[in-house]
Amino acid sequence: MRGFLFVLFLSFCGGLFANPYVVTIVNEIKTGPGSSEWIELHAEPDISLGDVGGWTIVTHEGTAVIDSWNIVDTFYLIVGTWNTSGVFSLGDEADTLRLYNDNGSLVDWIIWGNVDWNNWGFYSPTKFPTPPAGASASRLNIIGPSCMMGWEDQYMSWYFDLTPTPGLANDDYGDIFGTVRGPGNAYLENASVTASGAMGYQSCLSCVEGVNLGFYWLFGLGEGMYLLSASHPEYGTYQESVYVHAGDTLHRNIYLGYNRVREEESAISGGEPSVELKVMRDGVVLNIQRDQFLKVTLIDPSGRVLSEIHRGILNRGIHFFAFPKARKGVYILRISGKKGTICTQKILMP
């Protein structure tokens, strides 16, 4: 499946630019005590930078110079205390790493953790949070939505790998893909979709019409739990917790449609609310200020009524209604009276 998705994006980009040129410099970073920390240098495709002896690595901890006869080509060069002079040291919690060639030109700039930086214009750094202990920060290089030529325009992201791969290609990253749909199961373009978690962060827009309407792909996620979120200016928001396994592609179709609930609510005339609600883990508590007819409805993310929890007259006072059994996810709880919607509440089924 990952190969199919990769070809899908490349086929689109290929129509704009043939044979995109991509170069990687710092490919993986492993922090840690002493000789357990290292960086990996790599160049692709079919590019040899040759001997990088004399290149310097500058961090907040010090400056190291790479020894002669260290070759960077289509293979992977591991750099650490064993093949450098000076001070090779990477901050475990936060640091800035700059790589300069033997002419003193900046060729890569990376920061992690809570480090302030000033944008230098063309040479802007890539950034990632502090890696978990034992994990490496691995760079994923792929031609992204901009489809621009040149290494400075490629889509470069970082994910955390619990099983570092010094000297080998970066692997074990996971993906989430699917479609974004609205009312009537219609595909939605330009919905913002993000996946955020301790092991990575990605965001994208669902593709525009003519490419693959409503399609999204979040790639380069380390193994772990993520909050999958989507939003659309007309059709509301969606959130779900998902677990991404190492090397797996997770399929999730996202359904938006909360605006219809809001529109119905906004059509109701003003006045003091007669119902207060408090959402509990297994149900909802209603505080009724006067005797009245009420309907309590649970709505799924597509806008379909999942369950009518209550319909009828309720006396003034406090009432509890248990939620029906439902799949884990986000739902809308709607309280309606004879004149329409009184209030709505977004809930998360555990």
pLDDT at 166: 92
Token duo for residue 330: 């986000």
Mean pLDDT of 265-276: 48
Query: Is residue 140 scored above 70 in pLDDT?
Result: yes
Mean pLDDT of 291-318: 83
Work out the pLDDT band at 20, boundaries 50, 70, 90: very low
Distance (Å, rounded) from C-alpha 203 to C-alpha 195? 6
Cα separations in angstroms, 170 against 29, 40, 157, 188: 11, 10, 12, 33
Work out the pLDDT band at 207, boundaries 50, 70, 90: low
pLDDT at 116: 65
Q: How much is the pTM?
A: 0.56
pLDDT at 9: 39
Distance (Å, rounded) from C-alpha 211 to C-alpha 350? 36
Mean pLDDT of 251-267: 56
For residues 209 and 90, which has the higher predicted lDDT (pLDDT)?
A: 90
For residues 92 and 141, which has the higher predicted lDDT (pLDDT)?
A: 92
Distance (Å, rounded) from C-alpha 105 to C-alpha 163? 33
Mean pLDDT of 190-201: 83
pLDDT at 77: 92
3-state SS of the chain is CHHHHHHHHHHHHHCCCCCCCCCCCEEEEECCCHHHCEEEEECCCCCCCEECCCCEEEECCEEEEECCCCEECCCEEEECHHHEEECCCCCCCCEEEEEECCCCCEEEEEEECCCCCCCECCECCEEECCCCCCCEEEEEEECCCCCCCCHHHCEEEEEEECCCCCCCCCCCCEEEEEEEECHHHCECCCCEEEEEECCEEEEEECCCCCCCCCEEEEEEECCEEEEEEEEECCCEEEEEEEEECCCCEEECCEECCCHHHHHHHHCCCCCCCCEEEEECCCEEEEEECCCEEEEEEEECCCCCEEEEEEEEEECCEEEEEECCCCCCEEEEEEEEECCEEEEEEEEEEC
Most confident of 73-77, 98-102, 239-243, 298-302: 98-102
Query: Is residue 268 scored above 90 in pLDDT?
Result: no
Work out the pLDDT band at 256, boundaries 50, 70, 90: confident
pLDDT at 123: 54
Most confident of 186-195, 201-210, 340-349: 186-195
**Structural domains present in the chain:** 19-161 (2.60.40), 174-257 (2.60.40.1120), 271-349 (2.60.40.2550)
Query: Is residue 307 scored above 60 in pLDDT?
Result: yes
Q: Looking up tokens 């609205």, which residue turns up?
A: 182
Mean pLDDT of 68-79: 86
| Cβ neighbours for 125, distance < 8 A, ≥ 6 positions apart | 96, 109, 110, 111, 117
Work out the pLDDT band at 149, boundaries 50, 70, 90: very low
Work out the pLDDT band at 122, boundaries 50, 70, 90: very low
pLDDT at 121: 45
